[in-house]
Amino acid sequence: MDNILRTLEKNAREREELETQRRREELAKKLEPFVLGYVTRKKYQGQLRTIRNNCFKDFTDLDKSNKTLLTVREFLQKAPRCVASSKTANEITLFCNVCRHIIISLDSNSKEVNFAAAFLNKETLAVATKLISTIFAQIPDILLRITGEKAVELKQWQCLIHLVIGMSTPTTWAIVRNAPQVQTALNGLCAKLMAVFYEEDNYEKMTNSLFIAVNDQKPIVSLETVNAQYSIIYRVVRNRGENENLFSIFVTRILTCPAIIQYLNPQNLESIRSTELFERALFWLRANQEELESNLDVRVIINLLANLIHMAYNDEQTLIANLYEWTWCIGVALTRCTEMAVNNTNKSNLHYWHPVFGHYLVPIDKKTEGALRNVVQQLRLLWSAKIVRCLFDKAFASAQAQLTANNDTNMITTSNAARSPSNHKDLGAAFSKLWRKLGGTSNDSTSSTKEKCVEIPESPPTLTAVVCQLYMTALSTMIRMKREIVSGLCRDDQLLRQLWLYIKEWGAKNSSGSSSIFNTSSIDHYGPVSASLQSLKRLYSPHTATLRLFADATAAIVSILDEEEIFEKSVPFSVKELEAVSRYNNIFCFRAIWNGIIDEVTASTNTLFQSMHSLCMVLYERDSRRSFVSDPKFWLVSEVKSSAIMTEYEKKTSRGILLMRKMSHLVPIKERMLLFRRQVNEDKTRVSNIAADTHLQTWITVQRNRLIEDGFHHLSKLSVTALKSTIRVKFINEQGLDESGIDQDGVFKEFLELTLKKVFDPQMNLFSTTATGVIYPSPTSSLHEDHLSLFTFVGRMLGKAVYEGIVVDVQLAPVLLAAILGSHRLCAFDELSQLDAELYRNLTFVKRYEGDMTDLSLTFSIDEDFLGKIHTVDLVPSGRTIPVTNENKIDYVHRMAHHRVFKRTQEQCRAFVQGIQSFLQPTWLSIFAPHDLQCLISGQNSDIDLDDLKRHVQYFGGFHGSHRLIKWLWDILENKFTAEERKLFLKFVTSCSRPPVLGFSYLEPPFSIRCVEVSDDQDQGDTLGSVVRGFLTLRNGTTATRLPTASTCFNLLKLPNYNKKSLLLEKLRYAIHAGTGFELS
């Protein structure tokens, strides 16, 4: 039994061993192919390493020295194995080494080694053809995988493109260079070999790789390689009507490459012109509107836009011939660019920054940001002199031809300038469609509700309107370049004049009346005004863009004109034309508000009104400096009395409030001053009621040698209500003793005058003064500790003076005045003439310079000296690297002036304004212009009205209006003193040389004259004896030796009772010139 069991166990083991053996044999059979494959690959790789190490290891560059070329037969044996695959980095390296061997061999005169010889031999032709086909088929994939991050990759890129160019041009092969018949045969062969690149999939890869090559601040490969690859891509689509599918890829992929036109060499640019690529691309885009309107990625639209602009700049004739198509493409591209742009009202921290469009919805990678710098250079060509002149010359010629055709209805012509009615109708419909595409939509509507917006039938937009809308679209789209665009349009002085003539002709044609606004004072019809106002009422008004462009460009150029250009050179307008433009804008803005077309809401949203109003204010401010109008009441409107406007304002009607806020100059300054005083008095009543209820009264003690320190310490902590109420001041003299006297507002006036005089003194370095005495914040005020709080304190003190009706002899710079008013925008260049005369002269030289601006080596930066250290400030991002050219010099002038006038001291201005507006509400000040506010602060700059002063003077100490000395005084002031001496007399008594704007009835305290017998330190005021002696003209012995004095805090003149008129004249003249009147009682 045991034997049987052992036998069974043995048999079982044998069966298991046999099964295991069988499984092993089956597994071995399955693994054999894999092992064989692995071994074969290892062997193959070893052979490749051998070939690479022995045959192609030296071909890492195209230097012919120290390189041994294989014979053609050897090469054909070894090369196919080296180019069979190109997936890994090592394989690509070997692949490129083989390509370099071919490139170098093509320059050899030996048929043994020149690869071209393989095509001349029937035995090797098939192998050579297959080899090149294999290489060419892999090149698009290899190019697409190259990132350009390594230098070796860039060498590989250039090698591959070099090979393609070399193999496609048999005329360059050394062994057939002198055999034209052979070259002809080889051309056909090469064309067949090149066909692989023009398969749709490979063609897209080639275009995409070219995009990668140029999508950086500078191409990652050489310009020669870029041009070579471009020529390969363009070769198949250079002929019209061929390969339309590939041409569509070319337009949507190559023309969207960043700045590709900028990188092309003269040969490729000539090829574009000779093959009419520009025109073909425009027509393709028009025929395939959906590509531009929706299909193309919005992020690359800007590249297409820039390239189309660049091609227009290079080919002016094609641009003129296809102006409509080009304008359509540019307009659509601009509107597409806004899809990702963010309005200022919607911007947030979640958005990204775009160097052209500002806040953007999608991020921009570093390479694209670098490429945009080149794209921006192309975009600038849109407002270059060449394209601007080309577009507007064509537009104005078209407008003139249309006008001529309308005047002669019987004229029949087949020229392009005067189309037949049917063609004109078609063109009008096309322009209307383009108008909507460019953005001439309800965005310009004046109404905030659709019920107010009724679309009124109107003639189709003219070519001039379309071109203007094109530039307005650019201005609203490329917000970061707005000033540069306007400056480019202002470069040609004739453009503005031509636009003005066009507006007049358009207005005369489209209004019920004549253009009487330009030559008469009739108010029945305003020609262009009545026609232009219709643009505010229509949903789709073609004239809106023309008006806006004219207004924006004119405002920009007028703001930098000097008096010589306006009054002598008549640039860009004559004085009469400038007066006509001013009248037109003034009446336009007035009627827009008065007739209810513009209200509070639309005043800030209607772009046409904003542009026209800005121009109106620029012209008004310019005229206020030196008038160019003949009528002193020019800026008033004759159809409505100023009293009617005031009534509307006091009734708080919307148009009355808006008119006073936007166009306060329609009301004479004195009426506005009276309104201001009424508002202040109402506020004083309110404050006095609060003070009476709370027993609010402030006492401060001030040392005379610490006026600012003590004043700042006490008053900066007070509330606005406490500052507006009564403040009593007690002075401490230099000996530390209280000064005698009771403060009946006069002592506080003295404190206020002394404080303001000291803080505005340039030696304190809070403010600086110009040669003309204009005061502006000091750029180095930061040397003071907490200097911004000091500026706020100064603003409060000046606000207190204006609030109390105290006239202060301070001439603030218009930039400060405008900052106080808030809504008023000044022309920086205009203000620069007062703040920095030297810089103004230099910028004027730049503005007028007719040579090459690059000769001056200027950049968009400024060097500033701060305490002996030079700091370079960029006027624009990276401004120190941007040269000033003839094209951007106007923008440079604007930015330099803006920096000097506004940005340099903007923190100080902001603090000063905060202080003054705590007293004077912005709504009170909104009725003034900057020069009006100056009058409010320091009085009117005119001669003293002696009759008004006589009516409001108060006499003390026995003096009266018929007193002999008083009669002498008035006669001396009127007949003996000059106007300048009368100002000195007023300054002597009141501390301010200018009379109050509203007259001496508003001088606080009232102007007073008192007879005195003793010196100021012995003066005890009026007594019965002094009054009687003064009344009877009795004199004491010391009268003849004493000088007149004044108490400026009380506006009081103290006159000794002189016995001779000549003595009074002598003493008074000496006193006002010596300044002895500032002895304070």
Structure tokens at 1058: 């002189």
Give the residue among 1007, 998, 1011 at the shortest CA–CA distance from 949: 1007
How far is Cα 1077 from Cα 1054, in angstroms, rounded to an integer? 9
Any idea which residue has 């191409």 for tokens? 219
- Residue 911 · residue 798 · CB < 8 Å: no
Active-site pick, 390, 468, 490, 1049? 1049
CB atoms within 10 A of CB 942: 12
- Residue 972 · residue 1020 · CB < 8 Å: no
Helix (H) or strand (E) holding 97: helix 89-105
Structure tokens at 253: 């992929």
Structure tokens at 585: 């804008």
How far is Cα 735 from Cα 657, in angstroms, rounded to an integer? 55
How far is Cα 950 from Cα 947, in angstroms, rounded to an integer? 5
Strand partners, 861: 874
Alpha-carbon distance values, 348 to 345, 366, 867 (Å): 9, 21, 39
Q: State the Cα torsion 495-500-504-507 to the nearest 10°.
A: 90
* CA atoms within 13 A of residue 1011's CA, in its CB half-sphere: 29
Length in residues, the chain:
1081
CB atoms within 10 A of CB 73: 15
Alpha helices in 836-877 (DSSP H): 837-848
Structure tokens at 1054: 């103290």
How far is Cα 638 from Cα 823, in angstroms, rounded to an integer? 26
Alpha-carbon distance values, 294 to 112, 289, 301, 828, 998 (Å): 57, 8, 10, 42, 64
DSSP state of 276: T
Give the residue among 322, 353, 326 at the shortest CA–CA distance from 340: 353
Structure tokens at 337: 């660019």
- Residue 679 · residue 671 · CB < 8 Å: no
Alpha helices in 902-978 (DSSP H): 906-917, 922-925, 930-938, 946-952, 964-971
Can 1049 be counted among the known catalytic residues? Answer: yes
Any idea which residue has 């030796």 for tokens? 1041
How far is Cα 732 from Cα 299, in angstroms, rounded to an integer? 72
How far is Cα 694 from Cα 530, in angstroms, rounded to an integer? 58
How far is Cα 1029 from Cα 965, in angstroms, rounded to an integer? 13
Phi, psi of 959 (to 5 degrees): -75, 150
Residue 1069's Cβ-count burial label (10 Å; 0-12, 13-18, 19+) is: middle
Q: State the Cα torsion 952-953-959-963 to the nearest 10°.
A: -70
Phi, psi of 812 (to 5 degrees): -80, 150
Structure tokens at 989: 């008594």
Helix axes 828-835, 889-901, angle to 10 degrees: 60
Burial 206-222 (b: 16+ CB within 10 A, else e): bbbbbbbbbbbeebbbe
Structure tokens at 551: 């207004």
Residue 126's Cβ-count burial label (10 Å; 0-12, 13-18, 19+) is: exposed
Q: Annotated catalytic sites, by residue?
A: 1049
